């Protein structure tokens, strides 16, 4: 059975699912994505990753806000059999969700009901979870609370970054979503209700929490560095210059919090220390610690804020 599908998604994370659907027997009748935005002052307006991909593939694109009666009428005219949502970035109005003839199927990057919300990948790493995964679920009015038809888990190790985990889950989720569509429309799939008692929430990342606090344990600082790599980046101040730390490892070593302990860019923490392996100065390219130290003679005892 060939279905008419509306796809809603925005970032790079959405692309693997969009590719799988484009290559399937189903037809994508329209892609909804967030409107183009200016990257920064004076620079050109940039389209979303999903927008660019869809235009290149000749798929109709809609960047309008859903909150208007006219927009809903245009949506109904598409006469879709299914709506697939992957990191769209906009709350879908209830009038859409109440349509009795439609299922809104969502790919969420956690093992629901754990980590509902905006930043499930980052929160899983910050929390030092040993595993996470993807859930294929129905969208309902309450945030990420709908029943799920499929879940797939993956391991998280102490070196896993948000960027790496996002890529892994996006590919894993694309396959799981395709399988879920076949289950639903062959009447073999069963949706399972989430256990509300086990629900936790992955709130949006606040800029204030991206700054490194050297009075924390080394293992927590490593988790923060990994969770915010590549974006927005965990950072500190060195001689009033903002430095992003992209990769580090924990060292069993005692030393004063926030001070350079040796010539290998090891920094003291509340418990143990971290050795910085890769970093980025503001407005500069990424570099490893050896490159950085060649041009920056940091003496033992140098304070890093």
What is the pLDDT tens value at each position of the chain, 305 positions in all? 799 999 999 999 999 999 999 999 999 999 999 999 887 666 788 999 999 999 999 999 999 999 999 999 999 999 999 999 999 999 999 999 999 989 999 999 999 999 999 999 999 999 999 999 999 999 999 999 999 999 999 999 999 999 999 999 999 999 999 999 999 999 888 999 999 999 999 999 999 999 999 999 999 999 999 999 999 999 999 988 999 999 999 999 999 999 999 999 999 999 999 999 999 998 899 999 999 999 888 899 999 99
Residue 24: per-residue pLDDT: 96
Check: pTM over 0.85? Answer yes or no: yes
Residue 94: per-residue pLDDT: 95
Q: Which residues contact 232 (CB under 8 A, 6 or more apart)?
A: 205, 207, 210
Q: What is the CA radius of gyration of the chain?
A: 22
- CA-nearest of 27, 149, 137, 125 to 86 is 137
Rounded CA separation 142/199 (Å): 12
- CA-nearest of 1, 24, 6, 2 to 178 is 24
Any idea what DSSP says for residue 215?
Answer: T
Residue 43: per-residue pLDDT: 72
- CA-nearest of 12, 10, 30, 34 to 21 is 30
Rounded CA separation 70/68 (Å): 5
**Exposed / middle / buried, residue 181 (Cβ in 10 Å: 0-12, 13-18, 19+):** buried
Report the alpha-carbon angle 212-214-217, nearest 5: 100
What is the three-class DSSP state of 68? coil
Residue 38: per-residue pLDDT: 80
CB-CB contact of 268 with 255 (8 Å): yes
Q: Domains (ranges, CATH) in the chain? A: 4-202 (3.40.50.170), 207-295 (3.10.25.10)
Rounded CA separation 188/181 (Å): 10
Omega within 30 of 0 (cis) for the link into 230: yes
Omega within 30 of 0 (cis) for the link into 143: no
């Amino acid at each position: 059975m060939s279905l008419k599908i509306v796809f809603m998604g925005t970032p790079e994370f959405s692309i693997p699912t969009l590719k799988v659907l484009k290559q399937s027997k189903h037809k994508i009748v329209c892609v909804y994505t967030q409107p183009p935005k200016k990257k920064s002052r004076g620079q050109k307006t940039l389209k979303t990753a999903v927008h660019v991909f869809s235009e290149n593939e000749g798929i109709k694109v809609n960047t309008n806000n859903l909150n208007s009666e006219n927009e809903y009428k245009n949506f109904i005219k598409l006469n879709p059999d299914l709506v697939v949502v992957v990191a769209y970035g906009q709350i879908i109005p209830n009038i859409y969700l109440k349509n009795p003839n439609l299922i809104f199927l969502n790919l969420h990057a956690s093992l629901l009901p754990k980590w509902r919300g905006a930043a499930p990948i980052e929160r899983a790493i910050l929390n030092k979870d040993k595993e996470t995964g993807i859930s294929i679920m129905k969208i309902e009015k309450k945030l990420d609370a709908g029943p799920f038809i499929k879940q797939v888990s993956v391991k998280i190790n102490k070196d896993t970054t948000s960027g790496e985990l996002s890529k892994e889950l996006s590919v894993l989720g694309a396959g799981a979503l395709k399988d879920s569509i076949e289950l639903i429309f062959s009447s073999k799939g069963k949706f399972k209700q989430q256990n509300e008692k086990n629900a936790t929430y992955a709130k949006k990342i606040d800029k204030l929490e991206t700054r490194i606090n050297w009075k924390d344990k080394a293992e927590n600082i490593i988790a923060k560095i990994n969770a915010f790599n590549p974006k927005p980046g965990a950072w500190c101040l060195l001689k009033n210059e903002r430095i992003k730390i992209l990769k580090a490892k924990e060292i069993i070593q005692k030393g004063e919090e926030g001070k350079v302990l040796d010539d290998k860019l090891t920094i003291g923490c509340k418990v143990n220390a971290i050795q910085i392996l890769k970093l980025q100065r503001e407005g500069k390219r990424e570099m490893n610690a050896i490159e950085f130290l060649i041009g920056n003679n940091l003496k033992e005892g140098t304070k890093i804020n």
